[in-house]
Structure 1
Amino acid sequence: MSSSRALLADLIGFDTTSRESNLQLIEFARQYLEGFGVPCQLIFNAERSKANLFATLGTDDRPGIVLSGHTDVVPVDGQAWTVPPFTLTERDGKLYGRGAADMKGYIACVLAAVPSLLAAPLSMPVHIALSYDEEVGCLGVRSLLTELATRPHTPLLCIIGEPTELAPVLGHKGKLAMRCDVHGAACHSAYAPQGVNAIEHAAQLIGELGHIGARLRAPALQDSRFDPPFSTVQTGVISGGKALNIVPAHCRFDFEVRALPAQDPRQVAEQLQRYARDEVLPRMQAVNADSAIHFSELSAYPGLATDRHSQAAQLIARFCGSDAFSTVAFGTEGGLFDAIGIATVVCGPGSMDQGHKPDEFVSVAQLNACDAMLARIAEYLHTRPS
């Protein structure tokens, strides 16, 4: 087995589903890196049940390159796997296991590249950043970036290794996830006008979200680089009611906005909040003064839009051998790196067509191609003048 395949087998063996700890994987990576003399910094969550890892190869006295990946994976519950999800299985040139594509394949290649990166003096440092809880809102990486923002040298480039089949991606949409709680007043359904039906008023709010989403499709607001080329709004979860003969006093729904990088998803939330305050709530409180509508943010991350003429774009084109820049529909931690001034691109092995699905896999060919890309990065850093 190649080094990257062997390391991928180890990484898949750790169940790092977001609801679980990632510390076993982080400790494995720490011991591996420190075995090559690479010091590691661990940044824990408040409960010390999860951690980010940040390590630097070379001298940290100038801007460098960040190789970044998240360690958590999505659940396998309810999925019809034909292979053990937390054991690497090779079949017909494909490597199966939860996280093989999203995105332990990339992390395995990065770790496998450490010896070659250290084989000769580096003209600039290489940073390895491993995060937790990306799959539940890009939560863990934020404390890592807070630490990184205090350092004297801002990295020149960050490569997020999400699965793009090693195509260079310069952009993705941002996301805002919100919850709305509608509190009405219960009564017997025979006297429905005396109550405040929380489900019906929540439905009015959801309908307004549909109108807002329709307005976002206006041609003037579209960006043809993205698919779909406009910002989207959708309600994904709703609950409420106790019984058919009781006017429901409570209804909750969750909605999300996936916004083009040039648009602020919070503007959608603000529009809905104004509609709730000015239109829906007065009708509710006219029947019962204690009626209320509350909004809360569940998660958010910014979009990414790296200039195709930037140094970052030129570098990733050189490393992956293509300047066919594109965008992706899914989100990454890239917008958060970009927000603190680190130019960011997305490029990694495998395809998101396999991510989050049963029998997730990365092909051996893609893993080998990622090894080759990282070898080109090593060659560049060994030959580039300091």
Structure 2
Amino acid sequence: MSRTTLQREWSLVPLLAASTVVLAQSARQPDWTRLEAETMRHFQALVRLDTSNPPGNEVLVTDYLKQVLEKEGIPVQIFASEPSRPNLVARIRGSGKKPPILYMGHTDVVTVDPKKWTFPPFSATRNGGYVYGRGALDDKPHVVAGLMMLLELKRLNVALDRDVIFLAESGEEGTTGPGIDFMTREHAAEIRAEYCFAEGGGVSRVDGRTRFASVQTTEKVPRPIELTATGPSGHASVPLKGNAIARLSAALAALSAWRVPIRLNQTTREYFSRMADISAGADAQRFRAVLTPESPAAAAADDYFLRSEPRFASMLRTSLSPTIVQGGYRVNVIPSEARATVDVRMVPDEDPAVFLEAVRKVINDPTVSVAYTTTTASARPRAAPARLDSEAFRAIESFLAQDYDTVALPTMGTGATDMAQVRSIGLQCYGIGPAADVEDGPKGFGAHSDQERILETELHRFVRFSWNLVVGLARSR
């Protein structure tokens, strides 16, 4: 897409937003000022529930949501493969003229080391305009946004062309079996929809100013590989040629030095094109250069990203990161075998068999075997990216312009989310999220950090944005 075309399309975003807002606001609107206290009360209650995974114990959140929703007359369904790890589905029914919309939030959080926290991690302490606590960013904002959305749809009796489904699911943080795997395998009919919104994106702020919004439309596929090097064993006082640990080290060094070729897809091509258009100077030149991967300028830009912006470098290709090394058991024994696990995050359209053969050629050592691991703990299905020409993506662009005065960047997530499973059963899934300061991550205030926090104003703005987006798509015309 040319810069002129993109600027022309972006110039239409406020107009699209205005037309969508008129449609959304023709329905009764929530009293957002009044709802802030209620939203905060529910949010703090959710953060205070310790659903650290492992073990999960997401039933704490599910029970809370069930009580709140049923008190307002909203039916709830509970689906569980493990009693302590249930999933909740609640639905506000529409006329059925259009397919449903699914809004997801996961109820588990990663574990904590309480000694490293300034405020207790499950206290939901409000301080300086922030709420601190595990899950304050990942992913209790989506859970409370889904809750408030259903409450207000019911209270205001909003006429809908689409059902609005809220899924509060367990096990996203690395144990997908009782959560999204169970739901998509055993209860897909209960969450079947045209569009899905979940975590995976977010609005980036720099120095307090909104820069852009990432909207996750696809994600890399985890495909870890294991290297096994073999060699002679013996007493370590007599060095042996072909030492298995030395062979493994050489193999890992070769992989670390390998620059996997750039492989763009629809999402990443559009991402870097739009990044070029909202950037200036050398940054814009680098983003534009990688759109022509074989050019010398692309190689120079890639060098810079690998050095200074590794996230961009990862988005350009299938990536490899050695993460586990095992070998030896006594200092005076040369082991006959050494193993390493390499975390491969594969671009969705990469051929796994072809890539594995490329890894073998790079290592170039027949004594080092290479194979994909058989573990399913981190398995994610391969799925087509969500469309960029859909009604949902246009609505996201419109409401980001209205609510955040910013542009949407379709993004390929380098990590894994439960949207992979949902996309694999046919939903067009888009990752959205609240605004956060990019400086917060390195300072230890981001998701999974020891001082995880969210700005109160951004929590409320995200709840409003989620309402505007879903109701803008679902309400009766």
State the TM-score, normalizing by the size of structure 2. 0.68
Contact 2:383 2:424 in 1 (8 A): no
Bigger fraction of residues in helix:
2
Q: How many residues align?
A: 372
Amino acid at match of 1:81: W
Aligned to 1:285: none
Amino acid at match of 1:241: G
Q: Of 256, 261, 266, which residue of structure 2 is paired with 1:216?
A: 261
Deviates more, 1:301-310 or 1:141-150: 301-310
Aligned to 2:423: 338
Contact 1:216 1:232 in 2 (8 A): no
Contiguous gaps of at least 5 residues in structure 1: 283-291
Aligned to 2:461: 369
Amino acid at match of 1:349: P
Tell me: CA distance 1:12–1:250, structure 2 relative to 1, closer, same or farther (3 Å): farther
Aligned to 1:316: 396
Displacement of 1:24 in angstroms is: 1.1
Aligned to 1:300: 379
Aligned to 1:189: 236
Aligned to 1:347: 432
Aligned to 1:261: 348
CA distance in 1, matches of 2:267, 2:462: 33
Displacement of 1:50 in angstroms is: 1.4
Deviates more, 1:299-308 or 1:369-378: 299-308
Displacement of 1:98 in angstroms is: 0.6
Mapping for residues 1-386 of structure 1, pairs under 5 Å: 2-20=37-55, 21-45=57-81, 47-58=82-93, 61=96, 63-77=99-113, 80-118=116-154, 119-120=156-157, 121-136=159-174, 138-139=176-177, 140-150=179-189, 154-162=192-200, 164-165=202-203, 167=213, 169-178=215-224, 180=226, 182=228, 184=230, 186-193=233-240, 197-210=243-256, 213-217=258-262, 223-224=268-269, 225=271, 227-228=312-313, 229-264=316-351, 267-269=354-356, 271-272=358-359, 279-280=366-367, 295-297=373-375, 298-301=377-380, 302=382, 305-320=385-400, 321=402, 323-327=407-411, 328-351=413-436, 353=441, 354-377=446-469, 379-380=471-472, 383-385=475-477
Deviations 1:169-192 (A, max 9, x none): 043431325252737564322455
State the TM-score, normalizing by the size of structure 1. 0.82
CA distance in 2, matches of 1:163, 1:22: 23
Amino acid at match of 1:23: V
Deviates more, 1:246-255 or 1:85-94: 246-255
Over the matched positions of the two proteins, sequence identity in percent amounts to 23
Deviations 1:216-249 (A, max 9, x none): 3479999453622222111112222112210124
Displacement of 1:299 in angstroms is: 1.8
Contiguous gaps of at least 5 residues in structure 2: 1-35, 205-212, 273-311
Displacement of 1:122 in angstroms is: 2.5
SS in 2 for 1:375: helix
Amino acid at match of 1:243: R
CA distance in 2, matches of 1:40, 1:270: 49
Tell me: CA distance 1:13–1:267, structure 2 relative to 1, closer, same or farther (3 Å): farther
SS in 2 for 1:68: strand
Aligned to 2:287: none
Displacement of 1:115 in angstroms is: 2.0
Contact 2:218 2:267 in 1 (8 A): no
Contact 2:101 2:164 in 1 (8 A): yes
Displacement of 1:267 in angstroms is: 4.7
Tell me: CA distance 1:42–1:240, structure 2 relative to 1, closer, same or farther (3 Å): farther
Tell me: CA distance 1:96–1:146, structure 2 relative to 1, closer, same or farther (3 Å): same
Deviations 1:319-350 (A, max 9, x none): 44355233254432223222211001111214
After superposition, the CA RMSD in angstroms is: 3.4
